[in-house]
């Protein structure tokens, strides 16, 4: 008759649960397309919310740019599956497009409310292409500061690992 081995209650048998297999790095295509997808979703959402706030209040709260940068960077990072230079570049471009998309939506809304749909449609691409913050002379210094901080936030979130490895200390 076979007997079951005695259970050793003094030995911790759960060490295997703490040891994880090394995770595979996502490939270039997953990083690129996942980052673009995650960043696009967050950029579109942030632009819609920000443009709605601008049209409802009539005031451009540039401080929202920092939150948009945080959300876009987080979306890129989640979509890319890893931190790195490519997700950081995608986050920077997507944050820029978030700010310019917000301006484009506000321009479209203003022209559409005046009843000039042709100018609304023509004004959107020109507002996206022409909105280069560091070349705009009449831009508010604080808006420029918040835009720079939004870019920094998006790049930082997408570039740096969110969970530091505490075992190295």
16 falls within a domain:
no
2 falls within a domain:
no
- Domain of residue 95 covers 28-158
Number of domains into which the chain is organized: 1
Contacts of 51 (CB under 8 A, 6+ apart): 101, 102, 105, 106, 109
pLDDT surpassing 50 at residue 134: no
Instruction: Judge whether 69 and 154 are in contact, CB under 8 Å.
Output: yes
The predicted-structure confidence for 67-117, as pLDDT tens digits, reads as follows 999 999 999 999 998 888 999 999 999 998 888 878 777 777 777 788 777
pLDDT surpassing 80 at residue 15: no
Query: Mean pLDDT of all residues in the chain?
Result: 77
pLDDT surpassing 60 at residue 28: yes
85 falls within a domain:
yes
Instruction: Judge whether 69 and 63 are in contact, CB under 8 Å.
Output: no
pLDDT score recorded for residue 135? 46
């Amino acid at each position: 008759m076979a007997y079951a081995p005695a259970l050793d209650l003094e030995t911790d048998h759960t060490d295997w649960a703490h040891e994880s297999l090394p995770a595979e790095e996502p490939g270039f295509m997953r990083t690129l397309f996942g980052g673009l997808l995650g960043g696009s979703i967050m950029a579109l959402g942030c632009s819609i919310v920000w443009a709605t706030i601008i049209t409802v209040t009539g005031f451009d709260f540039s401080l929202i740019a920092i939150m948009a940068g945080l959300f876009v960077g987080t979306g890129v990072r989640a979509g890319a599956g890893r931190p790195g230079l490519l997700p950081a570049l995608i986050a920077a471009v997507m944050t820029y497009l978030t700010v310019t998309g917000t301006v484009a939506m506000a321009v479209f809304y203003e022209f559409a409310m005046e009843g000039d749909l042709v100018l609304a449609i023509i004004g959107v691409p020109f507002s996206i292409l022409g909105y280069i913050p560091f070349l705009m002379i009449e831009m508010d210094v604080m808006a420029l500061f918040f835009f720079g901080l939004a870019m920094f936030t998006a790049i930082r979130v997408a570039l740096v690992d969110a969970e530091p490895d505490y075992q190295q200390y």
